[in-house]
Amino acid sequence: MRSSSGVELGRKLDHGGAVPMPRSPVSASRRALLQSLLTVPTALALGGCQQLFGGGPSKQAKVEDPAEKPEKPAEPLVFGAMDIVPELPSTTLPVAIKVRITRKSGHLAYKGLAIESHQDGKIVGRGVAENEGIGLFGAYVKLSKEGPQTLKAVAEGKVQTAVQIRVAKTPAVGGAMFSAVVPVAVAELRQKAFSASPVPELHITRWRALDRDPAVIIEWRRDGATVHREQDRKSFGFRSMLETASFLPQFRPKDLRAWQREALVFTAPKGWEANGDWEVILHEQHQPSLRIVPTGPGEEGSLVLRRVTATEIETTPATIKALAAIPAIEAPKGEDAPVTSDEVRALTRSVELFNLRAKLSWTHSTSRSRQPVKWIDGENPVARWERQRAADALVERDAKLANKNDLRVRADLFAQMKPLIKQFGGEWTPEETPS
């Protein structure tokens, strides 16, 4: 039979209340000890649960509001200069070009870059750039209009870099015409490739004709004073034409373009420093003179030592006279019908002349190889030597007859070429000049 105190205790336990001590003759000190034994383990257990499960009055992790979190600033878009590579020549529009461009900062695998060509406020060509390597992008662009245009690299609705170009028609050997992209002259101060020491080289890229080897005078100046000057005639197109004259039949006419966009390379004088204030003056025969000055630091991780710009300046009459006085590169010895500057220009205007030069290239001096005679069983060596000498004489006779006939044919072909060269060998017209 439960006492009233037991019933009260059970009722309070059923409702989750605190556990009171029943009234008994137990002393107050023993009652306090028993109460502490019941409350301390309970507090420890509850505290451990709070630490394990995060309940109770312990610290909780603060939940951040996404709206309050500051956005990470976008990586800047910094692109380098565009490199323009003409594709195969075309006799009609559109003409295709390949444009390469590098990204110098931010995520190098960027998507969304386009190359556009603008003329009179309209887009006349567009290509989407594809990633071709770490930070390198390339795009094919078809240009449908002739004349001056602005080539722009566009990303996120903004023009990242731009260059002025011109689409023009230029002549090719054999009379074929093709559309070409004609950028302005480009100068680069670069470290010599594959060189252990930093040897500065100045690269001047511009359109040059194959009808002559350019005479040049270059002056390296610092603080307004000339510290080095040199003059030379660069072996460029004219020498190439002399070497390829005998191979003309192997090419289609439009493959031998009369104008090429090539670089002349000049090694900086000994002791030259790329830093500081300096300028280079380049005088080139039949071309506007150029003034090259530094405009900023070089490109990190590249061979470019400093960024430079080239500006056209006037060529004085004295300089023009000095350029003309530089000796020309002589034609190879033994050539009875060398290709002249006039003929190079005429070859682009007369298909008949091209065909005659092609025939002439195949009528070289004939050479016959020595054919050893066969052994005869039991033959005396002296008799065999006599037979070999007689056979060699026949080969030499036949070669002389063939050469004589070839020379007669070559002379006849060259006589037919002379009036055509005179008729079509005039200087380039403004319409034939890409720059």
Domain 77-171 belongs to what architecture?
Answer: Sandwich (2.60)
pLDDT 10s digits, 310-368? 999 999 999 999 999 999 877 666 566 777 888 888 888 888 888 888 777 777 644 55
Taken in order 337, 341, 346, 349, is the CA torsion positive or negative? positive
Cα–Cα distance list, 407 to 18, 207, 337, 366 (Å): 131, 38, 11, 10
Q: Residue 288 corresponds to which amino acid?
A: P
CB distance 201 to 265 below 8 Å: yes
171: tokens are 């002549």
Domain residue limits, the chain: 77-171, 341-432
What is the pTM for the complete model shown?
Answer: 0.62
In this predicted structure, which of 229-243, 274-288, 302-316 has the lowest mean pLDDT?
A: 229-243
What pLDDT score was predicted for residue 238?
A: 57
Among 191, 316, 336, 207, residue whose Cα is nearest residue 264: 207
Residue 417 pLDDT class (50, 70, 90 cuts)? very high
Q: Which residues, in sequence order, are CB contacts of 15 under 8 Å at separation 6+? A: none
- Rounded CA-CA distance 95/166 in Å is 12
What pLDDT score was predicted for residue 9?
A: 44
- Rounded CA-CA distance 359/239 in Å is 20
What pLDDT score was predicted for residue 273?
A: 82
Q: Residue 329 corresponds to which amino acid?
A: I
Most confident range (mean pLDDT) of 19-33, 53-67, 125-139, 295-309 is: 125-139
What pLDDT score was predicted for residue 259?
A: 81
Over 80: is that where the pLDDT of 50 sits? no
- Rounded CA-CA distance 224/405 in Å is 64
Find the helix or strand (DSSP H, E) in which 356 lies: helix 351-361
Cα–Cα distance list, 253 to 149, 173, 211, 220, 301 (Å): 28, 5, 16, 40, 41
CB distance 396 to 332 below 8 Å: no
CB atoms within 10 A of CB 318: 8
Most confident range (mean pLDDT) of 60-74, 203-217, 415-429 is: 415-429
- Rounded CA-CA distance 215/201 in Å is 19
Among 307, 94, 295, 111, residue whose Cα is nearest residue 190: 307
Q: Which residues, in sequence order, are CB contacts of 272 under 8 Å at separation 6+? A: 200, 220, 227, 228
- Rounded CA-CA distance 79/100 in Å is 11
